[in-house]
Structure 1
């Protein structure tokens, strides 16, 4: 009984910790979720003292993928990146959930997941009714997430689990565990269904629809035996109508994601076999987007994709992103894990498939709480046994536990850096750049993979007149971010150093990376004026005045007014 209570409470704490924000750390929800996951994975590893006695093919393939990740991250120098630590924690939690399955305690984690869904639904409904405040200025509801999209996907996974538990029913022999599970599932079904709607998460809705259809696939097939043609035809037409409606619901957003996928595929073909590294998405995507717009000559002619360009941090398609990051080798290994696990559809299979379908349209597994639900579902799936695997399991689960404890403990100890960063960032916001440089230099060895930190550090050095040092830091930032502001400030540094050619190259790099921004063109006009080159000044000036920014603002109007005045005076 004690073990069951510990598993249930542990599952609740693991999920609920993802819904809280730790005060004093730079990054808010994102940073809180990150460190909560690291701590939760380390605590949960205690379960690995009792490894399964039977070796399964899927577990063996997970371990191969784990080893590949370690080697790949080492060779690509990504072992200090946040993506690496997140991935390690996911492997650890998968191993823990496999142990829980072997101990026949999965039902208690299911309770924890459903309670987590109820809690999240209450937050959403409270925000909708005005009793709570969302975490995003543009959206009424976000739950405890920073965006309603991930909230909707999390609720979709819990919703499918609740439907699966309801479908299992209960034995009518009085008050027992199955009856409690059924009642909990009914409550979860009701509140998550209502809460999913205002999140407007199309990925979550599609995932939930697919998951429920898989749960009732037997009933659908048997009902359609006498009307097979009508059922198949109606199903196809229905799916086309649903997908069309979802597309039209947020047409601009859908088109933007198609453009992101196009650039992600282009980036993938540059390193198809082994990928760009677990932390290399932003760099690879920025290069692909730059190359596309440079090839299309958007400086001089219009392009319909200009309005869709942006500073992208995710592919909005997890399988596609996996192939880009880990290459065809890593993608195939992950596919083999799912192949072994999904050969027989169960209730948990439908939950896993629902979240997997949602991941084709969003950044699902960058959100730890969603990943936890997915990993739990996958870990419960049946698999084919491999003979004589007890000692192999000890090796696999033991290695995962030791490696994750070593890396996570080291990274968790770096929380102080985020706390210090938040304190010092106040001076940066107040434009007291000299005051933060020494402190940022001290924090740099720990935070050098965080592009926001690198931008603040490099910008502060720029304002302090330390141009060469600034460019060194900013150039590192371009390896972790698609933001063209890195190139703009680097161009300013080269301009201050009198290196006009390199300054122009940097400004153009910033423009082609995100050509719906006016600022790089403004800097190019100012560069021409600084060089005394009236031809270059007028060329870029007239291009700038003819461009329509993605977002109109007072700053854009002021820049255009200044350039218009400059060209008029000189003409």
Structure 2
């Protein structure tokens, strides 16, 4: 009884910790979730040290993928990245959930997941009714997430789990665990269904629809046997209509994601076998987007994709992102894990498939709470045993647990640096750049892989006139970010050093990375004016004046006014 209570409360705490924000850390929800996951993984591994007695094919393949990730991260110098620690924590939680399955305690984690869904649904409905405040200015509801998309996907996974538990029913023998599970599932079904609608998450809706259809596949097939032609034809037409409606619901957003997928595929083909590294998405995507627009010569001619360009931090398609980051080897290993695990469709299989389907349209597994539900579902799936593998299984689980504990404990020590960063960030807000340089210099050894920190540090070094040092920070930040502002500030450093050719290269790099921004053109015009090239000054200036910005603003109007005045004077 005690172990059941520990598993249930542990599952609740693991999920609820993902719904809280630690105000004292720089980065808000993202960083709070990250460190909560690290702590939760470490505590869970320590509390559940038992390993399953039998070795399964899926577990063996998970271990192979884990070893590949470690070797890959080491060779690509990604072991200090947040993505690496997030990934190995997921492996640690998978181990924990496999132990829970071996102990026949999965029902208690299911309760925790459903309670987490009820809590999240109450937050969404409270925001919808005006009793709570969302975490995004553009959206009425976000739950505890930073926008409604991940919230909808999380609720979709819980919704499918609730439907699965309802479908199992209960034995009418009084008040027992199965009855409590059934009642909890009914409540979860009702509130998550209502909360899922206002999130407007198309990925969540599609995932939930697919998951429920898989749950009732036998009933659908049995009903369709007598009307097979009508059912098949109606199903095909219905799916086409649904997909078209989802596309038209947010047409611009959908087109933007198609363009992101196109650039992700282009980036993948540069390193198809082993990928760019677990922390290399932003860099690889920025290079692919830059190369595309440079090839299309968007400086001289219009392109329909210019308005879709942006600073992208995710592929909005997890399988594509996986192949880009870990290459074909990592993608195939992951596919083999899923192949072994999903050979039999159970209730938990439908939950896993629902989240997998959603992951084709969003950044599903970058969100720890969604990943927790997915990992729990996958860990409960049946698999084929491997004979004589008991001690091998203990060794694999032991190695994975120890490695995760080692890395997560080391990474959790960086939490204090994020607290100090938030305290010192006020200097950057107040434009006290000298104080920023002094204080950030102390934090640099710990935060040297955080691109937001590197930008603030590099920008501050530029402001105090330490241009060479600024470029060192900015170039390091470019390895972790797709933001063209890194190139703009680097160009300003070269301009201050009278290195005009390098400055021009940096500004052009910024422009081709995100050609719907006018600031690089403004800087190019100013650079050419300073070095006295009136021909190129007029060339860039006239392009700027004819440019329609993605987001009109007073700053853009001021830049255009200044350039117009400059060209009039020179002409």
Q: Same fold (TM over 0.5)?
A: yes
SS at 2:431 equivalent:
coil
**Do the aligned partners of 1:47 and 1:99 also contact (CA within 8 Å) in 2?**
no
Deviations 1:420-456 (A, max 9, x none): 1001110001110000112111111111111100000
Match of 2:463 in 1: 463
Aligned to 1:176: 176
SS in structure 1 of the partner of residue 197 of structure 2: helix
Q: CA deviation at 1:387?
A: 0.6
Structure 1 runs, 4 residues or longer, greater than 3 Å off: none
5 Å matches for 1:503-518?
Answer: 503-518=503-518
TM-score by length of structure 2 reads: 1.00
Does the residue aligned with 1:49 lie in a helix, a strand or coil?
coil
Asked whether the equivalents of residues 417 and 446 of structure 1 are also in contact (C-alpha less than 8 Å), the reply is: yes
| Aligned match of 1:132 | 132
Match of residue 10 from structure 1: 10
- Residues in 1 aligned to 2:392 and 2:523: alpha-carbon distance in whole angstroms: 61
The equivalent residue for 1:395 is: 395
Deviation at 1:132, TM superposition (A): 0.2
Superposed, 1:115-154 pairs within 5 Å as: 115-154=115-154
Whole-Å separation in 1 of the counterparts to 2:438 and 2:504: 30
Contact 1:48 1:398 in 2 (8 A): no
Q: Distance in 2 between matches of 1:393 and 1:363?
A: 32
Contact 1:153-1:204 at 8 Å conserved across structures: yes
Distance 1:325 1:369 in 2: 22
Distance 1:531 1:429 in 2: 33
Could you say which residue in structure 1 is the equivalent of 2:480? 480
Match of 1:435 in 2: 435
Alignment of 1:120-519 (within 5 A): 120-519=120-519
Measure the CA separation in 2 of the matches of 1:398 and 1:292: 46
**Structure 1: distance between partners of 2:414 and 2:528:** 45
User: 1:72 & 1:439 partners in 2: Cα distance?
Assistant: 34
Q: Which structure 2 segments of 5+ residues have no match? A: none
State the 1:414 CA deviation: 1.0
String of CA shifts for 1:158-198, please: whole Å, max 9, x gaps. 00000000000000000000000000000000000000000
Distance 2:158 2:447 in 1: 35
Q: Cα distance, 1:47 vs. partner?
A: 4.4
- Residue number in structure 1 paired with 2:78: 78
| Aligned counterpart, 1:61 | 61
**CA-to-aligned-CA distance 1:296-354 (integer Å, 9 cap, x gap):** 00000000000000000000000100000000000000000000000000000000000
How far apart are 1:532 and its partner, in Å? 1.0
Aligned partners of 2:446 and 2:334: how far apart in 1?
A: 30
1:272 and 1:106 map into 2 onto residues whose CA distance is 38
Aligned to 1:26, the other structure's residue is in SS state coil
**Partner in structure 1 of residue 547 of structure 2:** 547
Equivalent residue pairs, number: 571
Question: Distance between the aligned counterparts of 1:442 and 1:35, measured in 2?
Answer: 21
Counterparts of 1:382 and 1:375 in 2: how far apart (Å)?
Answer: 14
Please give the root-mean-square deviation of Cα atoms over the aligned residues, in Å. Answer: 0.5
Which residue of 2 is the match for residue 567 of structure 1? 567
Conserved in 2, the CA contact under 8 Å of 1:281 and 1:313?
Answer: yes
- Mean Cα displacement is larger for which, 442-451 or 117-126? 442-451
Query: Which residue number corresponds to residue 525 of structure 2?
Result: 525
Per-residue deviation at 1:392?
A: 0.6
- Tell me, in whole angstroms, the C-alpha distance in 1 between the residues paired with 2:161 and 2:448: 40
Contact 1:48 1:95 in 2 (8 A): no
SS in 2 for 1:199: coil
Deviations along 1:109-131, one digit per CA (max 9) or x if unpaired, are: 00000000000000000000000
Task: Give the Å deviation of 1:46.
Answer: 2.1
Residue 48 of structure 1, CA deviation? 4.3
Cα distance in 2 between the residues matched to 1:344 and 1:310 = 41
